[in-house]
Amino acid sequence: MASVACIGECMVELRQAQGGASAGQGGGLYSRGFGGDTLNTAVYLARLDVKVDYLTALGDDGLSDEMIAAWNAESVGTRRVVRLAGKLPGLYMIQLDAKGERQFFHWRDSAAARQLMSLPETDEILNSLMSYDIVYLSAITLSIYDAVGRDRLFAAIKRARLLGTRFVFDTNFRARGWPDRDVAREVFAAAFATADIVLTSTEDLLALYPGESQDQLMARIPSPELVFRLAEPVSLLRFPGGTSEVRAEPMTKPVVDTTAAGDSFAAAYIAARLAGSDPAEAARAGHRLASIVICYPGAIIPGYAMPPKKRHRPAASRQATK
């Protein structure tokens, strides 16, 4: 069975409960959950019958125990999760203003996940990457490590690619995670140069390269396979031997929450490619799952809402990258 390593950070989420605060007033009630972009992708991959491990660091506290239990319940592998004594996971809070707009507040500077690239276990974790068919991570993942940690991670991915592992990079860009945009641009360039597949969007790239045209943005990414999502529900694809445009099917239900739209798209795309689908068919699968996810509150939809599983052609065998 094809396997994926998702690398990243899951945090404790405090979400303002509906009716928990009046407009213009502070306080209110909050519900607690867990959230993280690459973790969301890992959950959807597991639901799509892909064997997936989540690679991160957690504390030895009760909240970290709950995270592990929740991931195991979703069949996300936790054998690569490092537990650090005395540490805690990060935390973020979602607050709604009087117009219903969301604001995010983060407390993550000392979170356990930030140390994953500088632990006694780091070499073992990085060496394990060559045992997976795909290594998936996002720009948010890269933003939590320092420059030395990112260099170690990129070096390990390059070694794994020599044995046939593919690297999928999702450009999920959040400016607050970077010291400045120049650093982010440098890291993005390194990821683009290494990745086999890049999943990106106009929203992400225009935040880094303002004023550039669609063609200019796509030209920045030399990876052999590119999925470029536009502001409208359309994906432009570039892959060896061709290009394609894939439009999402029209929505038949109201949009409730766009959280994890990109994360679920990534999961469905990766699952379809691993199962032998071509990029256009994989993009259609991505749009299909994302269009369902945004009709439910929160990042992870109920299991019964998942789309019916499709049969795919057998996946091609791994080939080493020259």
Catalytic residues: 263
What does 113-178 look like in DSSP terms, one character per residue?
A: GGGGGGSTTHHHHHHGGGGSSEEEEEHHHHHTS-HHHHHHHHHHHHHHHTTT-EEEEE----GGGS
d(CA 82, CA 204): 30
d(CA 11, CA 59): 11
The neighbouring-strand residues paired with 198 are 169, 226
Report residue 225: phi and psi, to 5°. Answer: -125, 125
**CA angle at 79 for the pair 41 and 163, rounded to the nearest 5°:** 75
In the chain, what is the greatest distance between 2 CA atoms, to the nearest angstrom?
60
Order of strands, edge to edge, in the sheet holding 11-16? 30-35, 11-16, 91-96, 102-107
Run of H or E including 271 = helix 261-274
d(CA 129, CA 114): 18
Q: What totals of helices (H) and strands (E) does the chain contain, helices first?
A: 10, 13
Q: Give yes or no for a contact between 89 and 10, defined as CB atoms under 8 angstroms apart.
A: yes
> Distances in Å between the alpha carbon of 14 and those of 24, 27, 88, 104, 106?
19, 13, 15, 10, 10
